[in-house]
Amino acid sequence: MATTRVALAPMKAVQVPRPGGDFEIVEREVPQPGAGQVRIKVQACGVCHSDVLVKEGAWPGIQYPRVPGHEVVGVIDALGAGVTEWSKGQRVGVGWHGGQDGTCLACRRGDFRNCANLKITGISIDGGYQEYMVAPVEALAAIPESLDAAEAAPLLCAGITTYNALRHSGALPGDLVAVQGVGGLGHLGIQFASKFGYKVAAVGRGPGNAALAKKLGASVYIDSKAANAAEELQKLGGAQVILATAPSSKAMSELISGLGMNGRLVVVGATMDPIEVTPVQLIMGSRSIQGWSSGTPTDSEDTLRFAELSGVRPMIEKYPLAKAAEAYARMMSGNAEFRVVLTM
């Protein structure tokens, strides 16, 4: 049953007016949810490197102006017609997965993550760089009450991506799992890998992150500038899985020989450069390379529940919505430790 519409004062939103344009802080009418949608009063929204796709117009078909943001946490404050399974006041999150068509071959097979016409939050629809947003019910994930909104937000992208990739990687408790990169994705990947019961080898460039990697749960830190990381992994018996989080194809390529028998390089760090591998590297030892994108809202809920139970939390830097441009610049600098979050 739809709620009675109450007139609200205009809200603040941060939009990208055109590809490559500067962020604009604008006032907009608070949106009304349509059938099968809810309106969310946004509490926090993560600033993800994928937001560059909106900022620079690198994704085809984006309609501008567009409000970015796909790590959204808030509270439902209005229900559209026909929405019965969610309630006003309920804490929810919206991640990359903004809805599926339900009719393509992937959807008919239940593989909503690979929907041919996937809606992407902040790309297909306006995202969370605003005080209120509208989302379809198929994009909603329930947020555990004990999780802080600003800490939960990055779990809806960086968290689900690393958690979901690892739990589908085939690695078993006790296996050697290497995490390439100790950054926005990597610092969560190390934590999840450790909590899954893997022996974790963190691979970074330089000695600077050694202490942090150990604190996050790594048993071993490999400085790829000081040693051949693949050889170091082989000394440890070869990695069953290497989770490649840092967007460097060269660094990924250099690690492939560190895989053990039937080992798998799981790629979650997005870059356009080719990964270089020889057929012999894959044939000898039956090694493989797999890409992994984030997941569905139910995968988000699994990630959030596991984080709640295990104590996995992102390291964050918080900025108010009015400083979205500064927050984005901080994220793009590569110096943030490690996820940037807008708070409302």
CA distance 70 to 158: 11
Residues of the chain with CATH 3.90.180.10: 11-157+295-343
Class of domain 169-291: alpha beta
> Is 25 strand, coil or helix?
strand
Q: How far out from the chain centre does Cα 104 lie?
A: 24
pLDDT of residue 6: 60
Tokens, residue 172: 């078993």
pTM of the model: 0.95
Residue closest to 177 by CA, chosen among 164, 190, 160, 162? 190
- Could you tell me which CATH number the domain at 11-157+295-343 has? 3.90.180.10
pLDDT of residue 310: 98
List per-block mean pLDDT (blocks of 10 residues) for the chain, which spans 344 residues. 65 98 97 97 97 96 97 98 98 97 96 95 97 98 97 98 98 98 97 98 96 98 98 98 96 98 97 95 97 96 98 98 98 94 97
Please state, as a whole number, how many other Cβ atoms lie within 10 Å of the Cβ of residue 201: 25
Tokens, residue 155: 């779990």
Residues of the chain with CATH 3.40.50.720: 169-291
Do the bridges between strand 259-267 and strand 288-291 make them parallel or antiparallel, or are there none, so unpaired? parallel
> Is 290 strand, coil or helix?
strand
> Is 250 strand, coil or helix?
helix
Tokens, residue 129: 């760089």
Instruction: Judge whether 45 and 129 are in contact, CB under 8 Å.
Output: yes
Instruction: Judge whether 242 and 258 are in contact, CB under 8 Å.
Output: yes
Give start and end residues of each alpha helix (H) in the chain. Answer: 52-55, 105-108, 149-154, 160-167, 186-195, 210-216, 229-235, 249-255, 279-283, 297-310, 324-333
pLDDT of residue 4: 53
> Is 191 strand, coil or helix?
helix
